[in-house]
Amino acid sequence: MLSVEAVTEVTAELHAAFERLVPQLSRSSPAPTPVELSEIVGSPATTVFVARSDQGAVIGILTLVVYRIPTGVRARIEDVVVDQSATRQGAGEALTMAAVGAARRSGAKTVELSSRPSREAANRLYQRLGFERRETNSYRLTLPAD
């Protein structure tokens, strides 16, 4: 039976889990350092959730971002990854539902996320959970390094 919890402190185990899981999500972004991870966990705008196997190992991560703008409270799910060795065990769904519950308690009326089309299983999961694909233009500006 897996469990999901919100992270309250950065441990060596948590950092090792991020080092193992982030490369499974992105080849171009390194895992956060312990200092960066502490900034994420310590930020009032973010909540990091971990899914643990029945043996207690971290098998998945998700970051929920909640922020207020003039039109209301917004919530966004970012950087969801479940270990390749632990897929199809319900970790992605459990992480997502924990984040949705936290967003609701924070006053958000909607929760947004994005997922690459190549992540077919993740896209099916989000649709099954009630997320609707939006027709929108999404833009990104890559800033030069200092």
Mean of pLDDT over the chain: 94
CATH code that applies to domain 3-128: 3.40.630.30
Q: What is the pLDDT of residue 140?
A: 86
Q: What is the pLDDT of residue 116?
A: 87
Does the pTM surpass 0.85? The reply is: yes
User: Does residue 138 carry a pLDDT above 90?
Assistant: no
Q: For residue range 64-74, what is the model confidence (pLDDT) as tens digits?
A: 999 999 999 99
Long-range pairs, 120-124, Cβ under 8 A, ≥24: 121/87, 121/92, 122/80, 122/92
Residue ranges of the domains in the chain?
3-128
User: Does residue 90 carry a pLDDT above 90?
Assistant: yes
Band of the pLDDT at 146, cuts 50, 70, 90?
Answer: confident
Band of the pLDDT at 109, cuts 50, 70, 90?
Answer: very high
CA distance 124 to 109: 22
CA distance 81 to 23: 9
Amino acid at 85: S
Token pair for residue 117? Answer: 């089309």
Q: For residue range 7-39, what is the model confidence (pLDDT) as tens digits?
A: 999 999 999 999 999 999 998 899 999 999 999
Write the DSSP assignment of the chain as a string of letters: --EEEE--S--HHHHHHHHHHHHHH-SSSPPPPHHHHHHHHH-TTEEEEEEE-TTS-EEEEEEEEEEEETTEEEEEEEEEEE-GGGTTSSHHHHHHHHHHHHHHHTT-S-EE----TT-HHHHHHHHHTT-----------PPPP-
Q: What is the pLDDT of residue 1?
A: 86
Q: What is the pLDDT of residue 123?
A: 93
